Structure 1
Amino acid sequence: MQFDDEPGSFLRSLFDVAVAAADPMEQVSKYLPEPPKGRTVVVGAGKGSARMAEALEACWLGPLEGVVVTRYGHEAPCEKIEILSASHPVPDEAGERAARRILEAVSDLSEDDLVIVLISGGGSALLSLPPQGLTLQDKISVNKALLRCGASIDEVNCVRKHLSAIKGGRLAAAIHPARCHTLLISDVPGDDPAIIASGPTVGETTTAEDAKAIIRRYRIDLPDHVAQHLDSPLAECVTPDDSRLARTENHIIATPLMSLEAAADKARAAGLNVLVLGDTIEGEASEVGVVHAGIAEAIRHHGIPVARPALVLSGGETSVTVKGDGRGGRNVEFLLSLAVHLNGLDGVHALSGDTDGVDGREEIAGAVITPDTLKRAREAGIDARALLENNDGHGFFEALGDQVITGPTLTNVNDFRAILIL
């Protein structure tokens, strides 16, 4: 079996296919509810929410009104649905105002009304509404601490829910007695609707005690008034058996696995043996890089678990415990670790990128590596291991000119990793 495509261009085409598979314009129309007797109100949050709103306007035949919030720079043109913008991953006052606007939009509805909720990854930070007694700065401080300590996305979201006035099923409770029809684009391992954007329309099974356990696990110091909130009834979320959720439906319209399968189909058509490791890979990005390097070496040297030419695909959301003062980014940290541990292994190329076009806090989707990545770095006087220890993957790949830049993709099904072994 012969593979004749240029490796870098082929890997980028796979990334583009993966992103296209999660385009709301292709998916929203498949999951629409029946029109109501009364009003149809649209609300939502996430990096893909504006594109979802645009797709909804394109296929909904009746009247629409409402408001969604997306990340700065991820807006899409809408005529009936107002598009607001706010900060991600660290919340800002614009996100707090947007959350209040969303709650106002769904107040005073009747049983004849319908609320279509559009949720995608990033919605947690964008829907940042502190409960009574807390401030936005309290939430920002806790959020920053969680992001820096390497907590998993479900741990981060658990704490967020119990420090929120809109997450953890609270939005659905506010929508009652209207019908609530939520469309979700998943960016989390396992596609649990309760985790996506911290589940604003999903009943919550964790408790404030669970949130406190996470705070203790990562030794995060909380101000006294924040700790007191977690000890109060206000910290508890809306439970799945709450009667206010009886008319709530949640539909996942795009997932990380759907995108991996689209890329796998293209690779098989090109004559590659494809190994899909799954869409739920978590853990430290650098350690995930070590494991992926071992798999690539086994394929290259021994033809196991698949023979060359081969493609290894994986998705999920890793984390980075920040120890240095570099620019971070879990995809570039994974790739830099992968390159270091492959140590120039012949015939191995890789791409890793966030499907929303933003890796960490950089407007960079990710990067690529080649068999000569470390050689080119040495010739440029760059110490790959030192930059890895400093959490500066973005600095490394920027210096080599190997970044993957897409701009906002207006969707988000988490990280996409592809390793080509020739």
Structure 2
Amino acid sequence: MTKIRNAPAILSQGDISSRRIVLDIADRTLERLDSYKRIRSIMRLEGGILHIGMKTWDLSKKRNVYLFGAGKACNHMAMAVDHVLGDRLTAGIAIVKIYEESDRFNKTEVFVGGHPLPNEEGYRASKKIIEIVDQADPQDLFIAVISGGSSALMSCPIDGITLQDEIDTTDVLLKSGAGIYEINAVRRHISALNGGMLAKRIQDVGAELIGFGISDGVGTPATGDIAVPHAAYKSTPIGPDATTLDDARATIVNFDVADRLPPRVVDYLMNAGPEKETPKAFPSNTYFLLNSLPDSCIYAKEVAEKMGIPAIIVSSFLEGESKDAGTFFASMAREIQAYGNPIKAPCVLLSSGEVTTQILDNSVIKGHGGPGQEMAVGFAIMAAKTKGACLLSIDSEGTDGTAKAAGGITDSASFAAAAAKGINLHQTLREHSCFEALDAIGSAVFTGNTGTNLCDLNILYVPALKDGQ
């Protein structure tokens, strides 16, 4: 396996045959989603002519060529562009979540930003990006590579709001139960770069922008031909922003966070006039969409079927409380194995989306974890009733929540395995210490940076019962 780093440990316990099937599907899916390969398949430099998909650019007519990147898949995206351009690249700045030892760049400076909470290094990198853009002119070309997580990694609040305000705002919103659209509505409207503000700065100096994006938004259609420029591109910080000031205000009210957010943030958003709205269109920019959220399920289904296992996509819109989603999938597994609904076993069920974990009081946190790990633990509690059932739930970019694990994998033997080590999985969920529990029973999944970022990928395998079981 090329993506699942600790596969031997995972396959040393539990229902090994079921785990192997699930891991094989996940590994092959992640390999196909790798953005380095996606960009290199459509981008090349021949002499002074840059080819990207159906379009070409004569770089001899450009004074400078700059590369900017941010996101959890930025490592692979930025490396692809950096490697293609070589010496023709003037300079690059990439803001990543995790810097891997295998990452190799020519002219790109790498900063390790903060995610899910912004940090000082991401802020310093963002200020350098602003300095470069503000001295540019119409003869310059900017190439940007953006994936999910850029809102936190490319952190640069507007004047009057501090970096600590942005950190505190993000922390409160992530634990409020709000969805990513609502969270972004607030974050984008207090940012000097996100919400399309980086693209606006480039537009204001008259320079040209080419954008590569991965869309992790729930509800985004599957990608088609990635060589064709994407006309309906919407992605912070280089594309038009679909959220509004009214959305930001509604988030504050609907999730009752006004008294927990920094006062400067609340005051600004509640009183900002229409001139503070984020930009809604960039018709002159060229965008290429490499992958979108439904792609992971589509590719995983193709992989499973090539393995001879029937597969169905349950949903690419999965949201809500993570542990409850785990319980739901365990119930689905039981229904399938007992009655053959909605598909007969053996089979694979797939879903993607972005489940969340609500934490209203930080004092209850006793460990580390994330939504994918909580989903896996929620599944394990109920899955003991379905022999051989196995669920993998990971954040496809390689880290889930506050842990370095991508997520978790549990099966019908996991509850007993935890109990044998004195671990109460119900308590683990209450104390949000799922990483420690999963790691102890060989069920934490480690991938490192995968080169993609399509939120959650959930793969459930349900075997058929053998005679006499």
Q: TM-score, normalised by structure 1?
A: 0.92
Question: What secondary structure, in the 3-state scheme, does the structure 1 residue paired with 2:28 have?
Answer: helix
Residue range with higher mean Cα deviation, 75-84 or 54-63: 54-63
* RMSD, aligned α-carbons: 2.5
Partner of 2:56: 34
Q: How many pairs are equivalent? A: 416
* 1:271-282 to 2 correspondences below 5 Å: 271-282=308-319
What are the superposed Cα offsets for residues 330-375 of structure 1, whole Å, 9 maximum, x if unpaired? 0111111112223331131121111222110111111211211112
Partner of 1:332: 373
Amino acid at match of 2:265: V
1:16 to 23, 27, 36: 27
Deviation at 1:74, TM superposition (A): 4.5
Amino acid at match of 2:127: R
Structure 1 unmatched runs, 5+? none
Matched, 1:226 2:268: no
* 1:43-192 to 2 correspondences below 5 Å: 43-60=68-85, 63-64=88-89, 65-74=91-100, 76-176=103-203, 177-191=206-220
Amino acid at match of 1:45: A
Residue range with higher mean Cα deviation, 348-357 or 54-63: 54-63
Supply the distance in 2 between the matched residues of 1:331 and 1:363 (Cα, whole angstroms). 12
What are the superposed Cα offsets for residues 296-345 of structure 1, whole Å, 9 maximum, x if unpaired? 12211111211111000111111000253142310111111112223331
Deviation at 1:415, TM superposition (A): 1.3
Amino acid at match of 1:345: T
Q: Go from structure 1 to structure 2 and tell me whether the alpha carbon gap of 1:62 and 1:240 turns closer, same or farther (over 3 Å shift).
A: farther
Question: What secondary structure, in the 3-state scheme, does the structure 2 residue paired with 1:278 have?
Answer: strand
Q: Go from structure 1 to structure 2 and tell me whether the alpha carbon gap of 1:399 and 1:62 turns closer, same or farther (over 3 Å shift).
A: closer
Deviation at 1:409, TM superposition (A): 2.2
Deviation at 1:235, TM superposition (A): 8.0
Q: Go from structure 1 to structure 2 and tell me whether the alpha carbon gap of 1:196 and 1:71 turns closer, same or farther (over 3 Å shift).
A: farther
Supply the distance in 2 between the matched residues of 1:158 and 1:341 (Cα, whole angstroms). 36
Residue range with higher mean Cα deviation, 309-318 or 178-187: 178-187
Question: What secondary structure, in the 3-state scheme, does the structure 2 residue paired with 1:239 have?
Answer: coil
Question: What secondary structure, in the 3-state scheme, does the structure 2 residue paired with 1:246 have?
Answer: coil
1:269 to 288, 306, 309: 306
Question: What secondary structure, in the 3-state scheme, does the structure 1 residue paired with 2:426 have?
Answer: helix
Amino acid at match of 2:337: R
Amino acid at match of 2:179: S
Residue range with higher mean Cα deviation, 411-420 or 373-382: 373-382
* 1:257-336 to 2 correspondences below 5 Å: 257-322=294-359, 324-326=364-366, 327-336=368-377
What are the superposed Cα offsets for residues 125-153 of structure 1, whole Å, 9 maximum, x if unpaired? 11110101110011111111011122211
Q: TM-score, normalised by structure 2?
A: 0.83
1:239 to 279, 289, 297: 279
Partner of 1:413: 454
Residue range with higher mean Cα deviation, 209-218 or 191-200: 191-200
Partner of 2:36: 25
2:397 touches 2:449 (CA, 8 Å); kept in 1? yes
Deviation at 1:78, TM superposition (A): 0.7
Supply the distance in 2 between the matched residues of 1:303 and 1:390 (Cα, whole angstroms). 36
Amino acid at match of 1:321: Q
Partner of 1:401: 442
Matched, 1:252 2:292: no
Question: What secondary structure, in the 3-state scheme, does the structure 2 residue paired with 1:361 have?
Answer: coil
What are the superposed Cα offsets for residues 367-407 of structure 1, whole Å, 9 maximum, x if unpaired? 21121111222222222222222222212212212211122
Supply the distance in 1 between the matched residues of 2:314 and 2:183 (Cα, whole angstroms). 24
Deviation at 1:73, TM superposition (A): 2.6
Q: Go from structure 1 to structure 2 and tell me whether the alpha carbon gap of 1:85 and 1:404 turns closer, same or farther (over 3 Å shift).
A: same
Deviation at 1:199, TM superposition (A): 1.2
Q: Go from structure 1 to structure 2 and tell me whether the alpha carbon gap of 1:50 and 1:405 turns closer, same or farther (over 3 Å shift).
A: closer
Question: What secondary structure, in the 3-state scheme, does the structure 2 residue paired with 1:282 have?
Answer: strand
Supply the distance in 2 between the matched residues of 1:145 and 1:319 (Cα, whole angstroms). 13
Deviation at 1:200, TM superposition (A): 1.0
Question: What secondary structure, in the 3-state scheme, does the structure 1 residue paired with 2:139 have?
Answer: coil
Supply the distance in 2 between the matched residues of 1:194 and 1:317 (Cα, whole angstroms). 25
Supply the distance in 1 between the matched residues of 2:383 and 2:391 (Cα, whole angstroms). 11
Amino acid at match of 1:348: A
Residue range with higher mean Cα deviation, 387-396 or 59-68: 59-68
Supply the distance in 1 between the matched residues of 2:138 and 2:432 (Cα, whole angstroms). 52
Q: Go from structure 1 to structure 2 and tell me whether the alpha carbon gap of 1:413 and 1:23 turns closer, same or farther (over 3 Å shift).
A: same
Amino acid at match of 2:69: G
Supply the distance in 2 between the matched residues of 1:11 and 1:360 (Cα, whole angstroms). 22
2:240 to 203, 221, 228: 203
Supply the distance in 1 between the matched residues of 2:17 and 2:246 (Cα, whole angstroms). 53
User: Identity across aligned pairs (percent)?
Assistant: 30
2:215 touches 2:235 (CA, 8 Å); kept in 1? no
Deviation at 1:285, TM superposition (A): 0.6
2:18 touches 2:388 (CA, 8 Å); kept in 1? no
Residue range with higher mean Cα deviation, 71-80 or 272-281: 71-80
2:234 touches 2:242 (CA, 8 Å); kept in 1? no
Question: What secondary structure, in the 3-state scheme, does the structure 2 residue paired with 1:183 have?
Answer: strand
Structure 2 unmatched runs, 5+? 1-14, 44-51, 222-229, 464-469
What are the superposed Cα offsets for residues 199-230 of structure 1, whole Å, 9 maximum, x if unpaired? 11222243223212211222222343222221
Supply the distance in 1 between the matched residues of 2:305 and 2:180 (Cα, whole angstroms). 32
Amino acid at match of 1:253: L
Residue range with higher mean Cα deviation, 310-319 or 408-417: 408-417
